[in-house]
Amino acid sequence: MNRETTRIDLPPARMIHPRRPSRWLWVLLILVALVIGTGAGLIVGIKRSEEAKTVERETTVRNRRVAEKVAEARIAVADGDWFRARRIFEEVKELDPENADALASLPLIDRRLDEARGSVNVVTRPEGAKVTIDGVGEFTSPALITRLPFGEHRLEISKDGFEPVVQTVSVQSEEPISLNSITLSRSAGQLEVVSEPKAEFKIIKKAENDQKELVKVGSTPVKIEKLDPGEYQVLLEVEGWPEYSENVRVENNRNTSVSAVFAKGGLKITSDPIGAEVWIQAKEANDAAKKVGSTPINLSDLPVGKHRIELRYEDWNPIVRTVDVVDGVTEDLDFSWERALVAFESDPPGAAVFAAGKRIGNGVEVTPFRAELPEGDFVFNAQHEKLGAVQQSKRIESGDGTNVVNFEFAYGSVNLTSEPSGATVLSNGVPIGRTPLNLPVVPPGAYSWTLKKEQYRDGSVSGTINAGGKMNFNTALIYDPAPATSRSFKNGIGQQLSWVGVLGGWVAAHETTQAEFERVTGNNPSYFKKPDHPVESVTWYDAVKFCEALTVLERGLGNIPEGYRYRLPTDSEWSKFVGNQKLDAAISSLFDRKKSTAAVGTLAPNEYGLYDVRGNVWEWVSDWYSQTIVTRVRQEGSTPVMEWVGTDRKVLRGGGWTRSSQYDLAIANRMGARPSSDDRYDVGFRVVLMKD
């Protein structure tokens, strides 16, 4: 059909009469159109806003992740972990292809990785293994292999007698890699050793430069399953036989064997006197003679061949004979010595006698004694524990008579006495007895002795002792009133001083009484005036002056050991001599109210014999209230007064009769008071006698 000429006939038009819409319809249509338009616009706007927010959110997340990755990469760079840093910067680049940090850092990291080198420290058990690492060279363990490029490296370890080890090591940083637990497994062969009869064996490995190593010892038969390949010497020994030796080579995963047969005969040996030691040495062997027993003896398992038989009896000349042992035959041998009786004497008696280095007389007898010896020439040595040794040569003849050997020692004697008697005598500082002391045997020479007795001054005597001489010494000892250390005593004013070993000095058994204080100083500052009560209301300075005056007084009377003086105790000394004193033995108001001090020694003492170390009156000590005192108070479980540190306060210990709380009376508690305080009727002191 021709498009241009085609015509379409439509049906005839119908007459339509238009209907005029109403006004409200138009309004409704317009309102709907507005709603539709507004809604569509809102939807489009909301959609576009959401898309913008999503993009912004994704960008923020990506930027934050990039920042975190960059920070992480920088930490890896600071730690020298270049591989980790490179990986993280690659991740940054994927997130942000234009990231400046990644673009700048990656080329530098690649260059650093190309130049970086690591190291490996190889330690093997045993040491001395050959270590080969690809592309680097050979080393000997323990080995530190340096300048290794980053990456994988093949490590080969080998040592003679051990299985080789191949290991891969990955060098990823410049930090040294430690391979310190490589234990090599031995390669091994087998060795079997048998003998007839049963033998003791030694297996010795031969090494270069004639070095030898003992590998194993034991008894046949034996099969050693795992043995390092190499050259070995196998030694077999049966008592009395020459040593058997054989060299073998042990190879990896192969069996090697050694076998030996020992032929044997016998000897039956007797002697007169019996009990002689029997020593045998095979003539063909290089070994020394071996003791096999004492006569009578039956030796049934001896190796065939010539043997040197030696019989030894005490210090007699030995009997030697060479015999031929025949296979399956037992030969009888009898030995005897010509003997004589010898009497050994000495002046003074009590000497031990030796011949050829051996002691005569059953090893215990001293002159005078008798012994049976074989005929012959002897050189005898007599040794006296105080006089040394003398020597004498003598020929001993057998027969009916008795041979006599007499030794003369050079010596003198000393008699020591003292007035009074009972003094300890010391020679070179060593106590040797008490007077009167008789020393009957003294070697010639110059001597000096010291005499000591408690409460007396030391005495000394000296002189030269000649051989055959006798000296008498008598010493009058001078009485010394000074007390002896380690013993308690009463001083010149009647104070009881108790020795306290942990301090190395004396501590007054009681707090200083009013009577004692007044006797030394001439006054009594106490509020409660009673002679047997502790002095109180006394200043620290008055207590120190009392100690000084007492020292002068006692030295004048000779009652103080040299180098000692009276003083106040230190805080640490007080803490020691308070001991285990309990509060039930303390004068205090803890259990019932007290009205004043009490007489000293009213209650029981502590373990050192000291009374009232807790309670009655506070006791001055020499220390200031310092930081050191604070530390001690805390360590001992009490509470210090920090305001007293650095002030002019002296320390008081022990609590007083006025105290009613366990805190005030605690051993660890310290009171602080000015040393000039004189208004405290609960403060006194106790003296100690110590070395300057």
Q: Which fold has domain 44-115?
A: 1.25.40
- Checking 280-285 for CB contacts under 8 A at 24+ apart, the result is 280/240, 280/307, 280/308, 280/309, 280/310, 281/307, 281/308, 281/310, 282/240, 282/241, 282/242, 282/306, 282/307, 282/308, 283/307, 283/308, 283/322, 284/242, 285/242, 285/243
Mean pLDDT of the residues in the chain: 85
Class of the domain covering 489-691: alpha beta
- CATH of the domain spanning 189-261: 2.60.40.10
Q: Which CATH number is associated with domain 117-183?
A: 2.60.40.10
- CATH fold, domain 339-408, is Immunoglobulin-like (2.60.40)
In the structure, what pLDDT confidence band is assigned to residue 28 with cuts at 50, 70 and 90?
A: low
Say what the pLDDT of residue 594 is. 93
pLDDT bracket for residue 47 (50, 70, 90)? low
The count of residues in the chain is: 692
Q: Which CATH architecture has domain 412-476?
A: Sandwich (2.60)
DSSP 8-state code for residue 585? G
Could you tell me the end-to-end alpha-carbon distance of the chain, in angstroms, rounded to an integer? 150
CA distance 500 to 607: 10
**How far apart (Å, rounded) are the C-alpha atoms in residues 398 and 373?**
9
Helix (H, G, I), strand (E, B) or coil at 607: coil
State yes or no: pLDDT of 400 exceeds 70.
Answer: no
Residue predicted with more confidence, 49 or 473: 473
Q: What is the rounded average pLDDT of the residues 262-279?
A: 84
Predicted local confidence at residue 283, as pLDDT: 63
pLDDT of 12 above 50: no
What pLDDT was estimated at residue 168? 87
Same fold, 339-408 and 412-476: yes
| Residue ranges per structural domain of the chain | 44-115, 117-183, 189-261, 264-336, 339-408, 412-476, 489-691
564-604 pLDDT per residue, tens: 999 999 999 999 999 999 999 999 999 999 999 999 999 99
pLDDT at 683: 97
Q: Could you read off the pLDDT of 637-648 as tens digits, one per residue?
A: 999 999 999 999
Provide the β-strand partners of residue 452: 424
Using alpha carbons only, what angle is made at residue 395 by residues 394 and 398, rounded to the nearest 5 degrees?
A: 135
Reading the block at residue 221, the tokens are 């038969």
SS3 sequence of 210-275? HCEEEEEEEECCEEEEEECCEEEEEEEECCCCCCEEEEEEECCCCEEEEEEECCEEEEEEEEECCC
Indicate the CATH number for domain 264-336. 2.60.40.10
Mean pLDDT of 525-531: 96
Q: Whose structure tokens read 């020691």? A: 576
Q: pLDDT tens, 63-81?
A: 888 888 888 888 978 877 7
Query: What pLDDT, in 10s, does the model give residues 421-471?
Result: 988 999 998 999 999 999 999 999 999 999 988 778 888 999 899 988 898
